[in-house]
Structure 1
Amino acid sequence: MKLFSRKKKTGAETGEQVVLLIEGMHCGSCGLLIDDELEELAQVRSAATDVRAGRSVVVLEEGSDSDTAALVAVVEAAGEYTARLAG
């Protein structure tokens, strides 16, 4: 009988989510490129870009500051994309 159980928390449970609206994506490779670039940032746990929806859901590391300007800058530097914070 287990007295204690440890459930591993996912990024969505532990980190803040930021949604970016992105224009200029044309294919799945655009989404993969943006995910890779965002995930290079220390504050980003994961990124999931939906090209058809024109948005990226970014999960930040727990306790990190949500520097949304840095997220937007990384997306726009990756190619001919424009990005802004949703909402």
Structure 2
Amino acid sequence: MKLFGGKNKKDQRQEPETGPQVTLLIGGMHCASCGLLIDDELEEVPGVRSARTDVRSGRSTIRLEGTVTVDTDALVAAVERAGDYTAQPVG
């Protein structure tokens, strides 16, 4: 939790979801906790505003800050750091 007016992740997740995005196909997920672990790891990548991983569809939608370009290899590496998961960009 951040104090003195800073935003924590819960606050960020309530903001409108607009701007550039990247979608990844995720393999190896079994439950909602898997998706949350992946989201947390992706949100640590510089330039990522938010990540939403849907276990049922096997996709993660990553929203980026403004016009920031994030290397998809960095996003894939973040997914792999979260556990025994695989990721590949869609499109």
- TM-score in terms of structure 1 length: 0.82
Letter in 2 for 1:30: C
The answer as to whether partners of 2:26 and 2:88 remain within 8 angstroms in 1 is: yes
Rounded to whole Å, the distance in 2 between the matches of 1:77 and 1:48 is 17
Give, in angstroms, the shift of residue 60 of structure 1. 0.5
User: Is 1:10 equivalent to 2:21 in the alignment?
Assistant: no
SS at 1:71's partner residue?
helix
Larger Rg: 1
1:54-65 pair list within 5 angstroms: 54-65=58-69
Match of 1:32 in 2: 36
Q: Which runs of 5+ in 2 are unaligned?
A: 1-14
Rounded to whole Å, the distance in 2 between the matches of 1:16 and 1:68 is 13
The counterpart of 1:81, out of the listed 80, 85, 89, is 85
Give, in angstroms, the shift of residue 41 of structure 1. 1.4
Q: Please tell me the root mean square deviation across aligned C-alpha atoms, in Å.
A: 1.3
Letter in 1 for 2:50: S
Match of 2:24 in 1: 20
SS at 2:33's partner residue?
helix
Q: Which runs of 5+ in 1 are unaligned?
A: 1-8
Q: How many residues are aligned here? A: 77
Give, in angstroms, the shift of residue 33 of structure 1. 0.5
> Deviating runs (4+, > 6 A) in structure 1?
none
